[in-house]
Structure 1
Amino acid sequence: MASGRRTRRGRAVAGSLSALVALTLLISGCSSTDSGQAGGGQQAGTSSAAAQAQVTITPGADTEVTPKTPIVVKAANGTLSTVTVTSPKGNQVKGELSADKTTWTSAEPLGYDSTYQVAADAAGSDGKTVHQTGSVRTVAPKAQAFPALIPAPNSQPDFGVGQPIVVQFDQDITDKAAAEKALEVTATPQQEGSWYWISKKEVHYRPREYWQPGTTITLKANVYGVDLGGGVYGKTDREVTYKIHDSWIAKADGDTNQMQIFHSGQLVKTMPISMGKDETPTHLGPHVISFKSEKYTMDSCTYGVCPPDPKAYRSEENWSLRISNDGEFVHENPNSVGAQGRSNVSHGCINLNAENAKWFYQNLGLGDVVEVTNSGGQKLPVWDLYGDWELSWDQWQQGSALK
C-alpha cells in the first residue's frame, strides 16, 4: 500500500513538470523573432477596426467671408458621395470633387450678403453613411466699387505708344494696395510698368518708356470680392485687351513755331504752327491724344472759363484732336494762319492751316503723342487727363501703393 502511494505521488510531480515545460516552450515561441513563429503577431497588428466617416465644412457658420472664399467639404475615414451647396434663391453652387473623393471645393464666386446651405453625405470604412449639414455666410458691403476701364473696351482697334491704362472707381478706395494687387497687367512683349494713383478713385498704369509698337496689353481687374477698405468691396471683375500701333510722335517747338511729325522714328512731315500766347501758354511736355472730331465746338466754359472773363471763347473748329482736359487741342484755325510759323497767338491750342490739320487728323489718333517744348507754359499736370509722361520713372513709381 505504501509503495502504491509513492507511485501516484511520483506521477503527479512528473505531470506538473511536463506542464511547466510546455508552458515555457509556448512563451518562448511567442517572443521569438523567427519568421515562421512571428507571422501570427504581424497579422494581428495590421488588422484595423472599421471607422465612421467624419465630415468637416469650412469656413464655419460663425465667420463672414468674402464671395471669393471657397467652400471646402472634407471627409475623413471615408469618401464623399454627395455635396450640395444651395444659394438663398435655391440655385446650386458648382464645385469640384478631388480624384480620391475626399475633398469638394466650390468652383464659382458666391454672392454678397448671402447665407449658403451646405449638405454632404460620406461613406465610412464601416460601411455606414454620415450626413452633415452647415451654412456659410458672406459679407455685406457698405458699398460696391465699379471699375470703369479707360480706354473703354472695344472702343477702337488700337492705340498709340503713349496711351496710359486707367481704372476709375465710383467709390473712394482707402486700401489702395489691395486694389493694385487685384489689377493685373500683362504686356507682350514684356515691359516694366507701374501704377500711379491720381486720386482716391482713379489709378493710371504706364510703362517706363513709351509702349513698344505692336504691344498687346491685357488688363484684368479682379476686384470682385476684394476688400478695398472702409467697407467698400469690388463690384465686378472686368477684363480688356488693347493693341498698340506704330509709333507716331509730334514735336511742337514754341521757339521755331514748327511741328515735326515722326513715324516709327523717322521724320515724315514738318508744319508751321502757332501755340498759346503769353497770357495762355500751351503746357510743356508730352501730351497724349484722347479724342478727335472732324468738327468740334471749342468752349472755354467746359473747363470753367466763361464770359465775361476775357480769356473766354467759343468757336467752331475743324480737324480737332484733344491733348489735355483744359482746352488744349491740335486743330485747324484759319484766323491764325498768318501767325503760324512766326508767333504764338492761340488760347493754348496748337493751330494749323487747313491742309496740315487734315493731314494730322488723318494720320494721328488716340494714344499718339504730342511733345511740347519752349512754349513758356508750365508742365502739364499729371492729373490733367494724361499728364502721366510728365513724371520721371522714379517719381511715377512713388505714386504706387505697393512701393
Structure 2
Amino acid sequence: MIRIAGLGLVAVLLAACSGQTETGGTAQAVGAAGPTGTATVPGVPAATVAFEGGDQLSPKDPIVVRASGGTLQAVTVTNPQTGNAVKGALSPDKTTWTSNDRLRYGATYQAVATAVNPAGAASEQRGEVRTIKPSGVATASLFQPSSGDFGVGLVLGLKFDHDITDKATVEKSFKVTSSPAQDGGWYWVGKREVHYRPKEYWKAGSTVKLETTTFGMPIGGGVYGGQDVSATYKVHDSWIAKADGKTHQMKAFHNGQLVKTAPISMGKTVDTPPRGPTPTFNGTHTVLSKVDHTIMDSCSYGVCEGDPGYYKAPENWDVRISNDGEYLHENLKTVGVQGSDNVSNGCLNMNTENAKWFFDNFNAGDVVEVTNSGGPQLSINNGHGDWAISWSAWQAGSALRG
C-alpha cells in the first residue's frame, strides 16, 4: 500500500484469477507539489490492472498484465514453487507488460503490479495466473547429436518418451530447412519415433536445420508437447560405396568419381555348419560409427561360449553400418576368398590395406549400398535403413498424407 502525504491510503485493488479487478471507489491522487508538499485532485478513478491467462494458460503463451485508466509503473511475476522471477517487458506506452520467459506446466504464478492513474496516484494490485497441468508431457530427443558433420546419407529423427496419438498435429510442428533447398519428408516408424530424409541423398555441402515447436501444444489424449529441440548439420563431400555380393567387389565413389575398388567377402548364404547362413542385409546402409579396434563376440546376438559357431575375435578398422552388427573391417582369415566367395558372419571383410583406407575415408552418414547379398532388406530400425524405402512409400508414412 502507498500512503499519500497525510491524506490516507490509496486503495489496494485485488485482481481475481479471471483478471477482473474492483476499483473500490475514487482514489485520491498527488497533484502538483506546492509549498506544503501536497495537493489533491478529487474525482480521478484509480488505474486498474487485469492479469490475463486465468487458470488454463498454455506455458507457450505469455503472461500479460494490462492497465486500464493509467499506466504500469512496475510488474513482478514470480513462480513461488521455484522462487524464480519471470522476465518480461513493458510496452512503449507502458499500458501492457508481457512475459518473454519460458513458463512451466502446472505452475501458479503470483503477479504484483503497480499502476498509476493520470493524476499520479499509484495503486498496488495482485493476481494469479495458472498454467495448464497435462496428463503427460511428451519430450523429444534427437536421433542424431544436435550438430555435426555428416555424409549425404544423413537421416534426421526424433524419439518421444510418450506415445503420440495426434501425429498430424505433432508433425506440423516440425520444420526442416536446407541450403540448398531439397525436397524431403517425415516417416513415422512407430507411435514414438519419426524420421526425416530427402527424396535423394543430400547434396554435398548442404546445411540442414531441424526445429520443433511442439512445446505447449495439445497432442492427443491429454498429453502436451515437451521442451522443443533444434539441430544444425553440415553435409560434407559425397562418399558412396557400392558393395556387390555377386562380383565380391566394393567400389568407392568420391563426389561421383570412382576412387577405390576392393575385393570383399560378405555374409555367407549357404548352410555351413556349425552355423547356418548369415547373409549381409541388402539395401542402402549408412555409416553409424567407427572404431580402430574392437572385440567381436557372437554372444552379442545370442551365440555364446559353448554354442556351435561361437566366436570372439579381435578385429581392426571397424566401420559400423547397421545396429545388427554389420561392419566393414579387416579380416585376415578370409583374405584368400575375398573377391571370390562370401563366407563372413554378415560383415564386409577386407584385407588390411583396403580396410584401413575405408576406415580413413568413410565417416558418419556416408553411404554403403549393398546389392546381391542374398540377404533380406535392411529394415528402418536396423541402423539407418530409411534409404531402402521407396520415395512413394516414404511419403505414405507421413501423418499428413493419410
Identity of aligned residues (%): 55
Contact 1:196 1:399 (C-alpha < 8 Å) held by counterparts: yes
* Structure with bigger gyration radius: 1
Name 2:346's counterpart in structure 1: 348
1:177, distance to aligned residue in structure 2 (A): 3.1
1:111-150 correspondence to structure 2 within 5 Å = 111-125=104-118, 128-150=121-143
1:210, distance to aligned residue in structure 2 (A): 0.7
Paired AA for residue 295 in structure 1: H
* Equivalent residue in structure 2 for 1:237, among 228, 231, 246: 228
Counterparts of 1:236 and 1:376, CA distance in 2: 44
The answer to whether structure 1 residue 206 and structure 2 residue 197 are counterparts is yes
* Equivalent residue in structure 2 for 1:82, among 74, 83, 92: 74
Counterparts of 2:84 and 2:398, CA distance in 1: 41
Contact 2:151 2:235 (C-alpha < 8 Å) held by counterparts: yes
Counterparts of 1:222 and 1:311, CA distance in 2: 50
Counterparts of 1:74 and 1:312, CA distance in 2: 74
The answer to whether structure 1 residue 73 and structure 2 residue 71 are counterparts is no
1:83, distance to aligned residue in structure 2 (A): 2.0
Name 2:36's counterpart in structure 1: none
Name 1:15's counterpart in structure 2: none
Q: Which has the higher helix share?
A: 1
1:52, distance to aligned residue in structure 2 (A): 5.4
**Residues 378 and 90 (structure 1), Cα distance of their counterparts in 2 relative to 1, 3 Å cut:** closer
Counterparts of 2:311 and 2:169, CA distance in 1: 44
Q: Secondary structure at the match of 2:317?
A: strand
* Bigger shift: residues 74-83 or 255-264: 74-83
* Equivalent residue in structure 2 for 1:171, among 156, 162, 172: 162
1:402, distance to aligned residue in structure 2 (A): 2.8
Name 2:324's counterpart in structure 1: 326
1:4-403 correspondence to structure 2 within 5 Å = 53-60=47-54, 63-88=55-80, 89-125=82-118, 128-153=121-146, 157-278=148-269, 279-306=277-304, 310=308, 312-403=310-401
Contact 2:286 2:365 (C-alpha < 8 Å) held by counterparts: yes
Counterparts of 2:256 and 2:387, CA distance in 1: 18
Counterparts of 1:226 and 1:313, CA distance in 2: 51
Counterparts of 1:90 and 1:327, CA distance in 2: 50
Paired AA for residue 133 in structure 1: R
Q: Secondary structure at the match of 1:338?
A: helix
TM-score by length of 2: 0.80
1:282, distance to aligned residue in structure 2 (A): 1.3
Runs of 4+ in structure 1 off by over 6 angstroms are: none
Gap runs ≥5 in structure 2: 1-42, 270-276
1:394, distance to aligned residue in structure 2 (A): 1.9
The C-alpha deviation readout for 1:39-75, integer Å capped at 9, x for no partner, is: xxxxxxxxxx976544322112xx2333222111222
Counterparts of 1:65 and 1:307, CA distance in 2: 60
Contact 2:317 2:359 (C-alpha < 8 Å) held by counterparts: yes
* Bigger shift: residues 244-253 or 319-328: 319-328
Counterparts of 1:130 and 1:181, CA distance in 2: 45
* Bigger shift: residues 88-97 or 282-291: 88-97
Counterparts of 1:267 and 1:189, CA distance in 2: 25
* Bigger shift: residues 255-264 or 160-169: 160-169
Contact 2:285 2:383 (C-alpha < 8 Å) held by counterparts: no
Counterparts of 2:221 and 2:184, CA distance in 1: 28
1:311, distance to aligned residue in structure 2 (A): 5.7
Name 1:22's counterpart in structure 2: none
* Bigger shift: residues 186-195 or 329-338: 186-195
Q: Secondary structure at the match of 1:383?
A: coil
Counterparts of 1:70 and 1:353, CA distance in 2: 62
Counterparts of 1:92 and 1:319, CA distance in 2: 54
1:241, distance to aligned residue in structure 2 (A): 1.8
Contact 1:300 1:327 (C-alpha < 8 Å) held by counterparts: no
Contact 1:250 1:262 (C-alpha < 8 Å) held by counterparts: yes
The C-alpha deviation readout for 1:73-93, integer Å capped at 9, x for no partner, is: 222333222222111143321
Counterparts of 1:346 and 1:237, CA distance in 2: 44
TM-score by length of 1: 0.80
**Residues 310 and 229 (structure 1), Cα distance of their counterparts in 2 relative to 1, 3 Å cut:** farther
Paired AA for residue 123 in structure 1: V
**Residues 114 and 202 (structure 1), Cα distance of their counterparts in 2 relative to 1, 3 Å cut:** same
The C-alpha deviation readout for 1:224-269, integer Å capped at 9, x for no partner, is: 4344444444443333221111000000111111111000000001
